[in-house]
Amino acid sequence: MITMRWRKIYIIGAALFLCWNIVMYYVFINSKQTKGTLTRLSKKLSNLQDQIHQQIQENDELLEDIKRQKDIFIKKQKSLGISFDFKSKEEAEPPAVAHHSGVVIPVLVIACNRPTVRKCIDLLIKYRPSKEQFPIIVSQDCDHEETAKVIQSYGDQLTHIQQPDQSNIYLPPKEVKYQGYYRISRHYKWALGQVFNQFRYNSVIIVEDDLDVAVDFFEYFLASYSILIRDPTLYCVSAWNDNGKEKLISQQSDLLYRTDFFPGLGWMMTQNMWSELEPKWPNGFWDDWIREPEQRKGRSCIRPEISRTDTFGKVGVSKGLFFEQHLKFIRLNTDFVEFTKMDLSYLIKENYDPKFLKLVYETPSITVNQLTRENGRGLHTVRIQYSDNNSFKSIAKVLGIMVDFKAGVPRTGYLGIITFMYNNIRVYLAPAQSWTGYDPTWS
C-alpha cells in the first residue's frame, strides 16, 4: 500500500512538471507575460517540488519503519512457533492453476509395509492430468525401510511423509488382536492432519497402498468436486461400488448415484468435513465410526455404477478373508468418461430425490421368486419390496448383493433403496413407500 502511494506521488509530480512546461510554452508564445509573472510561477513550482520531495522522504521513512516493525514481529512469532506469509498480493507467487475450474486436489496415499505400493503410485502418476493439479502425498506408517525406498525412488513426483509415532497402542487383552486397526486409525488422523493443517489444502482424495485406479479416476473426482462443495447434504465422493461385481452392474460407465452408505476405498472429503471430524476422531475402526449417525448426520456420498478403484491387497489386517469372498470380484472401469463435460447437478439432493423416488415407486413390483423363476424374461426394470432386515437379507442372498448393514444402512443404500442389476434387469430393492428412516439396530 505504501509503495503504491509513493509511486502515485512520482506520477503526480511528473504530471505537474509537464503541465508547467505547457503553461510556459503558452505564456511565452501567446501571452508574452512579463518577467515578473514568470518569476512568481517559477517560485510556485519550486515550492511544489519541495513539498513533493518532502512527502517522498516521509514515505520512505515510514516504509523503513514498517519493515523494522515487520522484522520484529516475525522474530516474535517464530519464537512461538508461528509463521505468516507477508507477501503482498502483487508479490505473492500465483497458486497452482488447475485445468478445470482452478481446482487443486491432492491425493493422499496411506502406506505402511507394502513395497507393492509402487503399483498404486505408478497408476496415479500415469493417469493424473497434471502434477500441479493433483499433487501426490504418500504418508507412510510402520517405519518399513524397503517400502520407504520404493516411495523415495519417485523423487519430486510426490511428497513422502512418515508417521512419527511408531509406538504400540495399549489395548485390553481381548482387543490386542485389533492392534492393526487402531494403528491405522491413528495413522489416518495424523496424515489427514498433515494434508489439511500443515499443507493447507481444501480437499483430499484418499487411497490406500493396495488400490488400483481407473483411467478416468481423476476425471471423476474433478467433476464431482463442485457437487460436493455445493451440496451440504453430501459428505464424500467415493470411487467404490460395494455391489460392483460384473453381474450386478450395467455397462453404462457414466452412471452415478447418491448413497447413504460410506463406501471408502478411494474417496474425497473437504477441509470443512475434516474440521468437524478431527476433534472426535476414533482410536480404532475409523471407517465404521464414520458411518454412525452421529458422524453421518443424514448426509450422503456420491458413488459410481462401475468402480473407479479395485484392490490387490489380499494380505492385510483383515487377513484376506473379505478379499477372497468379495473384493477381488469388483470390476474396475476401463472406459474414459469425460465427466467434466457433463452436467452433474442432477446429483444435488433437491434435484435427485424427487426423480429417483418417482422412478422407483412407479416401477412395477414383483417378488424375488417371480424374478428368479422367469429369469427376467421380458422385464427391464423391477422393484422388489422388503419389510425388515431379515427379509432384506434373504432377498439379498438370493440375488447376490451384500447382505450386511452398518449403523442400520445397507451397502449402496439410498433412502433405503438398493440399486443393482440382475440378469441385465435393473432392480430396485426397496422398503415400503412409507419408509421413514434407517434403524440403527439392523445389523
The pLDDT of 155-160, averaged and rounded, is 98
Q: Is the pLDDT of residue 64 over 80?
A: no
Instruction: Express each pLDDT in 289-332 by its tens digit.
Output: 999 999 999 999 999 999 999 998 765 555 466 778 888 899 99
User: What is the enclosing helix (H) or strand (E) of 42?
Assistant: helix 35-79
CB 414 within 8 A of CB 257: yes
Instruction: Express each pLDDT in 178-203 by its tens digit.
Output: 999 999 999 999 999 999 999 999 99
- How many angstroms separate the CA atoms of 73 and 84, rounded? 10
Residues with Cβ within 8 Å of residue 147, at least 6 apart in sequence: 111, 112, 113, 114, 115, 117, 140
How sure is the predictor about 73, in pLDDT bands with cuts at 50, 70 and 90? Answer: very low
Residue 112's nearest CA partner among 148, 142, 153, 145 is 142
Instruction: Express each pLDDT in 86-120 by its tens digit.
Output: 333 333 333 333 346 589 999 999 999 999 999 99
* Confidence at residue 405, expressed as pLDDT on a 0 to 100 scale: 97
Coil, strand, or helix at residue 150?
helix
Instruction: Express each pLDDT in 369-415 by its tens digit.
Output: 999 987 667 889 999 999 999 999 999 999 999 999 999 999 999 99
* Confidence at residue 41, expressed as pLDDT on a 0 to 100 scale: 54
Give the range among 59-63, 275-279, 397-401, 417-421 with minimum mean pLDDT.
Answer: 59-63
Residues with Cβ within 8 Å of residue 358, at least 6 apart in sequence: none
CB 257 within 8 A of CB 420: no
50 vs 56, higher pLDDT: 50
Query: What is the set of active-site residues?
Result: 287
As a whole number, the mean pLDDT across the chain is 85
Q: Name the residue type at position 276.
A: E
Q: Is the pLDDT of residue 348 over 60?
A: yes
**Cell 472401469, located at residue:** 333
Instruction: Express each pLDDT in 233-250 by its tens digit.
Output: 999 999 999 999 999 999
Per CATH, the homologous superfamily of domain 107-347 is: Spore Coat Polysaccharide Biosynthesis Protein SpsA; Chain A (3.90.550.10)
How sure is the predictor about 18, in pLDDT bands with cuts at 50, 70 and 90? Answer: low
How sure is the predictor about 341, in pLDDT bands with cuts at 50, 70 and 90? Answer: very high
* Confidence at residue 375, expressed as pLDDT on a 0 to 100 scale: 67
Q: Is the pLDDT of residue 71 over 90?
A: no
Bridge partner residues of 110 (DSSP):
139, 208
CB burial readout 193-220, b (16+ within 10 A) else e: ebbbeeeebbbbbbbbbbbbbbbbbbbb
The dihedrals phi and psi of 213, each to the nearest 5 degrees, come to -120, 150
* Confidence at residue 86, expressed as pLDDT on a 0 to 100 scale: 31
Specify the CATH number of the domain 358-430: 3.10.180.20
- How many angstroms separate the CA atoms of 45 and 276, rounded? 65
* Confidence at residue 327, expressed as pLDDT on a 0 to 100 scale: 87
